Structure 1
């Protein structure tokens, strides 16, 4: 019989993962507040960031402190937004959004990741045209499809995508995201995930060793401290996780 990590080892790993998630959320709150003001009522980006932080069980005190640092009420670090674009194996397009206080460190880490897994870093605009900014509300399997679809249409959603496993995505224009989310919640539909993200116009299917390399690259990038979000147009099959 195989033996897994100790309870203490698992807890330490979970705590480290949670700490990394919190770091990314705090950086997003900081930049949103610094660029759009500390009032979530008049700053949709900040409101979305706070909602995500609360969903991750971040305390309101930590959130409030991050906002105050960003708006100058408390001393804090200023982060710069940087986007990198490149290609993974198989011609897969990848966008990496970062928040950093050290551009030299960040670009070195991102370039190393692409090189390590057979990809290459591109120039600005080299793949961004393949993606569109969309609001996405994801509902877990088991939600009544007909009732949810009707509520989404009434809320002003752009599209509804139903997946084979029963999960449903409601897609919105980024400017309508907050209003559609509020309307869906008022109708009794609580999304499992709600975010404004980038979606590829068309996905590229990759298989076998290529799929595994792409999956490793995406995971490596997501684990970098300065990386907030990673987007790709990869359609990864089961081979990616073999």
Structure 2
């Protein structure tokens, strides 16, 4: 292999992998920043939404320094532009209601982009409140049942007692639906069950 180096062999695949990882970390950092800002705290023990975002980031092997920097940015410790979460409403072709959640550092640019995308697709941007009444904010917890020996009937009863609205078994997974406000309580009840 005269004249070839290991770098030339791996640079293309490493570049693609690094780009995907960077995009994932950017998205996770944005989620952490929004969760910290809306929860009012950079402490995951006091802010449930932040705890979920941090757990997701750790599962993706995001460095702790990046996680902390994103949380600090959310509570105003960083000098970067604030990211805010904005909801847009509208109708897709055929009258299908749309509720679009965005995270942006520039409200005007995002508003223009969302309206343009809806118009290009043949839909109609709506006014605030025009379709929001059709949607409910729910919590969803999915538990993999593959290889577990849990008593499903007993588990379903305990989860419902903890505040779940509905429990469904689908494709080797248990799906628990609950009110968004009681998501932490139901999650903790499931963790207590093991």
Q: What TM-score does the superposition give when structure 1 sets the normalisation length?
A: 0.64
Q: What is the CA-CA distance between 1:18 and the residue it aligns to?
A: 3.7
Higher mean displacement: 67-76 or 86-95? 67-76
Deviations 1:167-217 (A, max 9, x none): 3310122222112112212212xxxxxxxxxxxxxxxxxxxxxxxxxxxxx
Of stretches 13-22 and 66-75 in structure 1, the one that deviates more from structure 2 is 13-22
In 1, distance between residues paired with 2:46 and 2:187? 16
Alignment length, in residue pairs? 181
Alignment of structure 1 residues 1-150 onto 2, 5 Å: 12-13=15-16, 15-35=18-38, 36-140=40-144, 142=146, 145-150=152-157
8 Å Cα contact 2:73-2:82 kept in structure 1: no
- Deviation readout 1:62-108 (Å, 9 max, x if unpaired): 11111223334332221122111112223222211112111221112
Report the CA distance shift for 1:186/1:11 in structure 2 as closer, same or farther (over 3 A).
farther
Shift, 1:147, TM fit: 4.6
Please say which of residues 32-41 and 143-152 is displaced more in the overlay: 143-152
In the alignment, which of 156, 163, 174 is matched to residue 156 of structure 1? 163
C-alpha distance in structure 2 between counterparts of 1:9 and 1:126, whole Å? 48
Query: What are the ranges of 5 or more consecutive residues in structure 2 without an aligned counterpart?
Result: 1-9
> Counterparts of 2:77 and 2:84 in 1: how far apart (Å)?
19
Aligned to 1:158, the other structure's residue is in SS state: strand
CA shift at 1:128, angstroms?
Answer: 1.0
**Structure 1 vs Structure 2 CA RMSD:** 2.5
**Distance change in 2, residues 1:11/1:119 (3 Å):** farther
- The match for 1:222 is none
User: Structure 1 residues 113, 154: CA separation in 2 closer, same or farther (over 3 Å shift)?
Assistant: same
Ranked by relative contact order (alpha carbons within 8 Å, sequence separation 6 or more), the top structure is 1
Structure with max Cα Rg = 2
Structure 2 distance, partners of 1:11, 1:92, is: 41
Structure 2 counterpart of 1:177: 183
Q: Distance in 1 between matches of 2:20 and 2:117?
A: 19
Q: CA deviation at 1:16?
A: 3.7
| TM-score normalised by length of structure 2 | 0.78
**Which structure 1 residue ranges, 5 or more long, are not aligned?**
1-6, 189-242
CA distance in 2, matches of 1:93, 1:53: 31
DSSP 3-state at the match of 2:156: helix
Q: What SS class does the counterpart of residue 136 from structure 2 fall into?
A: strand
